[in-house]
Amino acid sequence: MQSSWYWKKIVAVKEKFKSFINAGQFTQLDYSIKKGYLLLCPPQTRVSWSNEIWGRLNVPNHSVILWLTRLDRLKAKQRLHKIRVIPDSSCLLCGQSEENIEHLFFKCPFSNRCIKSLKEKLGWRVKTEAIYPLLRWISKAKVSRFKKQVLAAFVAAGVYQVWKTRNEVLWFQ
């Protein structure tokens, strides 16, 4: 009989855990799930932008698109053109430049208007030219944690809406 994928993962985590601590130490410790998690995933392994992308106020769909954007993994036309999936890499929203992440979310006239409107509504005076510096600015801003979550949710929603609009244009072409 063959074990399931889930069972194999549980056994792998158990083996990893056993490599960090011996049974004698384990029985003497005041164990909690949090302590076990921190043992397996030390805080320094977290990326600095995870709170902004996976914030509790973010809609999950928005977070996924923002995450893919941050990792430069969205299937923008430049990426598809590079691997010869499509013949043309021009921006679907403006047709003025090659469609890559930077252009699509910051330099395209359409997204530029969206960002300008968003910044006016939020009273933002931050320079916006790329996702990573924007997320870093939010994480370092001297505002309350709740306001950081609101700002991150706005950014995630804005990125999602630009991507959704771009895909709607693609659909109706």
3-state secondary structure 71-107: CCCCCCHHHHHHCCCCCCCECCCCCCCECCHHHHHHH
**Range of weakest confidence among 112-116, 144-148, 161-165:** 112-116
pLDDT tops 70 at residue 2: yes
Q: How confident is the model at residue 62 (pLDDT cuts 50, 70, 90)?
A: very high
Give the per-residue pLDDT at 25: 65
More confident residue, 35 or 125: 125
115-142 per-position pLDDT tens digit:
888 888 888 888 888 899 889 889 988 9
Distance CA 12, CA 28 (A): 23
Burial environment of residue 127 by CB neighbours within 10 A (0 to 12, 13 to 18, 19 or more) = exposed
What single-letter amino acid sits at 54?
A: W
Whole-angstrom distance, CA of residue 138 vs CA of residue 134: 6
Return the H-helix or E-strand segment holding 5: helix 5-20
Contact 40, 13 (CB under 8 A): yes
Coil, strand or helix: which one is 30? Answer: coil
Please say whether the beta carbons of 154 and 52 come within 8 A. no
Residue 26: pLDDT band with limits 50, 70, 90: low
Question: Helix, strand or coil for residue 64?
Answer: helix
Q: What percent of the chain has pLDDT over 70?
A: 92
pTM for this structure?
0.73
pLDDT at residue 46, as a whole number: 65
Point out the least confidently predicted range of 35-39, 85-89, 138-142: 35-39
